[in-house]
Amino acid sequence: MKRKRALVTGSAGFIGSTLSERLLREGYEVYGIDAFVHNYDRRLKEQNLQGLLTNPQFHFWERDLRCLDFDELLSRVDVVFHQAALPGVRTSWGAQFQEYVDHNILVTQALLEAAKHSHVQKIVCASSSSVYGGMSGPTDETVTPQPVSPYGVTKLAAEQLGQLYANVFGVPVVSLRYFTVFGPRQRPDMAFHKFIKNVLSGEPIDIYGDGEQSRDFTFIDDAVTANLLAATSPVAGEVFNIGGVSQLTVNEVIALLETHTGKTALLRRLPEQPGDPRHTFADISKARQQLGYDPQFDIEKGIWLQIQQVRSLYNL
Ligand code: UGA
């Protein structure tokens, strides 16, 4: 049988590289693209790619999606996993916003334009819990989004462009609202990565606010599985919450890290950060029912795996 061909944008990133590996294991031929945008050390992204580059079914291009001919690219593939973005809620204020608009909105629009006249069977777009803003309890997709960061505004715009192209032109788009994904290869600006690295090396951890803010933490393998389910399901023109199985406060996360590393965390208290929602909490009923999404990884299992990876990454 002919292999399915997938395009993964952002394939050197945390989710994009893990997804690419999974697709190869599932028998796909994978076209990976990454611009190595400057949000963190290029060497970490190169490491993410290491295992992929030796696989003959993986084809990698270092290209900036802002100036790419999507028509030519889409003619080569059956499905697209659009993971590329400029991420991060707290860094999206001020002059940086222009870059968020370019990477997150304009690139998505160019991809959707090209998809209008392509034969691509599904486009799975990475969206974000940050489209909602704060949540006071389990939150489903019927709740009106009210982002509290400029980043959330760009992800919401990208998602709505997806809905628009699905409704008007029948482009088969599905957007996945990831909830704070963690696990091996997590971005170095994200909480778990920073916390684990600093606990292991005896450096202080920055805590924003009182640490009582909570997140619905989603393990990377569950987020990757959600992408495969979305790609193979007949559903299109929909958005889905992709949450995990654990809601924890930042203080609870630190206590768990202390238990699992056997070290005491040094804490540095900083003010609450503009752009941070107080709580996130995914109601994942829709993804369960329509995609068969069933997250498996609890926080303990996931944290343990991430501790092993951060240890080996920094020789700690
Ligand atoms: C994460 C990603 O960074 C976003 O790209 C993504 O869109 C978003 O999840 C999402 O759910 O869609 P965030 O929840 O802020 O955003 O993830 P972390 O950076 O891991 O932060 C988690 C919590 O730890 C936040 O409450 C934050 O205030 C806190 N934190 C983070 C600290 O107290 N100190 C730090 O040094 C970093």
Does residue 181 carry a pLDDT above 90?
Answer: yes
Polymer length in residues for the chain: 316
For residue 150, tell me if it sits in a domain: yes
For residue 73, tell me if it sits in a domain: yes
- Rounded to two decimals, the pTM is 0.98
pLDDT > 70 in the chain, percent: 100
97 lines ligand 1 (CB under 6 A): no
For residue 250, tell me if it sits in a domain: no
Does residue 119 carry a pLDDT above 80?
Answer: yes
Residue 2's pLDDT band (boundaries 50, 70, 90)?
confident
Residue 145's pLDDT band (boundaries 50, 70, 90)?
very high
For residue 214, tell me if it sits in a domain: no
pLDDT digits (tens, 9 = 90+) for 38-88: 999 999 999 999 999 999 999 999 999 999 999 999 999 999 999 999 999
Compute the distance from residue 191 Cα to the ligand 1 centre, in Å.
Answer: 6
Task: Out of 1-5, 20-24, 97-101, pick the least confident.
Answer: 1-5
For residue 41, tell me if it sits in a domain: yes
Q: Which domain range does residue 112 map to? A: 5-181+220-244+282-295
Dump strand ranges (E) for the chain.
5-9, 29-34, 58-62, 79-82, 122-128, 173-178, 181-182, 204-208, 214-219, 238-242, 246-249, 266-270
Active site residues: 151
- Report strand pairing: 204-208 vs 266-270: parallel
Secondary structure of residue 171 in the 3-state scheme: coil
The CATH number for 176's domain is 3.40.50.720
Torsion region of 201: left, alpha or beta (phi above 0 gives left; psi -120 to 50 gives alpha): alpha
For a substitution probing ligand 1, which of 190, 217, 310 has the most ligand atoms within 8 Å of its CB?
Answer: 190
Residue 257 CA neighbour count, 13 Å, CB half: 29
Structurally, the chain folds into a number of domains equal to 1
Give the CA angle between residues 37, 187, 145 to the nearest 5°.
90
For residue 313, tell me if it sits in a domain: no
For residue 200, tell me if it sits in a domain: no
Res 273: pLDDT: 96
For residue 34, tell me if it sits in a domain: yes
Q: Give the mean pLDDT of 154-160.
A: 98
Compute the distance from residue 119 Cα to the ligand 1 centre, in Å.
Answer: 37
pLDDT > 90 in the chain, percent: 99
